[in-house]
Amino acid sequence: MNWQGVFPALTTKFTADEELDLAAFTHNLQAQLDAGVDGIILGGSLGEASTLSNDEKETLLKTAVDYVDGQVPVLLNIAEGATRDAIRVAERAASLGARGLMLLPPMRYKADERETCAYFKAIAAATDLPIMLYNNPVDYKIEVTLSMFDELVAFPTIQAVKESTRDISNVTRLRNRFGDRIKILCGVDTLAMEELVMGADGWIAGLVCAFPRETVAIYRLVKAGRYDEARAIYRWFMPLLELDIHPKLVQYIKLAEAATGLGTEYVRAPRLMLAGAERERILTIINAGLANRPALPELEELANVG
């Protein structure tokens, strides 16, 4: 696995009656490929993982693997409550063509450090797929600390971290401690440029679902050292990127996808589509961004940067 570049955490597209909308899913997937993303992540928090059945996750994975046809790696998120269930999902993902896994800590139970490490180790030992750990103590209340990584790097399948601690300094701490052994991908849209400048290898992005070319442009410009150009796009993008750090990020980003023609607003209950003043407020932010959408450099000339 080349843990570099932009990896969209894709939303799961639904119809009005809450069934999978594979036509909308592949339409968005094509837009990501056209923009030059470097990988695809399915079934994450933004993908409404907690509302999906295993059969639906497998359908999304098979659809994406077939559609992408090897152009970029497809990763499946694992967010299971039981270790044995997580192992089964990892095994099934490999058989269906996933090229890697994103792994959350145990769900629905606040495991301590020993339990969390045991959970990660058991899955890492049971699969040959490369693993990216999701370190998000803000939302999931479990932090993967440096001392935990000291144990986890013994497993060659554990290769990367989705860095969502909200502490930019953690990029430097990880690099100082582990060098390039652990690849670092920023998992918070509003900190992406800062973490890339500080040496993060990639960006697990959310607003990329609606704005793929702008996201890829920022990544490639930063890696090319063209900071002024990247900063201008990033400043335009910031009001939109802030939609990623709200509890309703799914609804907000899906509204942005609908506005850019890359998706629909439909969500699965208990989430509800936005309504009233809240919807108008978010739509105002989105429309302001669309009205001032910046000109982008030719991304093809930066295709080998990263």
Whether 223 is catalytic:
no
- Catalytically annotated residue among 162, 183, 223, 254: 162
pTM: 0.96
Q: pLDDT tens digits, residue range 69-109?
A: 999 999 999 999 899 999 999 999 999 999 999 999 998 88
**What percent of the chain clears pLDDT 90, i.e. is strictly above it?**
94
**Given this model, what pLDDT does residue 108 score?**
84
Helix residue spans in 198-273 (DSSP H): 212-223, 227-241, 249-259
For 182-192, what is each residue's pLDDT tens digit?
999 999 999 99
pLDDT score recorded for residue 33: 98
Q: What is the mean pLDDT of the chain?
A: 96
The terminus-to-terminus CA distance of the chain in angstroms comes to: 14
pLDDT at 306: 56
* Catalytic residue status for 62: no
List b or e across 102-125, with b for residues whose CB sees 16 or more CB atoms inside 10 angstroms: bbbbbbeeebeeeebbebbbebbe
Q: How confident is the model at residue 26 (pLDDT cuts 50, 70, 90)?
A: very high
The whole-number average pLDDT for the span 56-81 is 97
Q: Which residues contact 39 (CB under 8 A, 6 or more apart)?
A: 5, 6, 7, 72, 73, 74, 75, 99, 100
Give yes or no for residue 303 having a pLDDT over 80: no
Instruction: List C-alpha distances in Å: 172 to 25, 148, 167.
Output: 36, 17, 10
Residue 301 confidence (pLDDT) above 90: no
Amino acid at 234: Y
* pLDDT surpasses 70 at 51: yes
3 and 159 Cβ atoms separated by less than 8 Å: yes
pLDDT on residue 107: 85
Residue range 229-274, pLDDT digits in tens: 999 999 999 999 999 999 999 999 999 999 999 999 999 999 999 9
Q: What per-residue confidence (pLDDT) applies to 213?
A: 97
Residue 239, amino acid: P
Q: Choosing from 57, 119, 134, 223, which is the catalytic residue?
A: 134
The answer on pLDDT for 304 being more than 70 is no
Report the C-alpha gap between 166 and 149 in whole angstroms.
18
What domains can you pick out in the chain, each with its CATH number? 5-302 (3.20.20.70)
For residue 261, the one-letter residue type is G
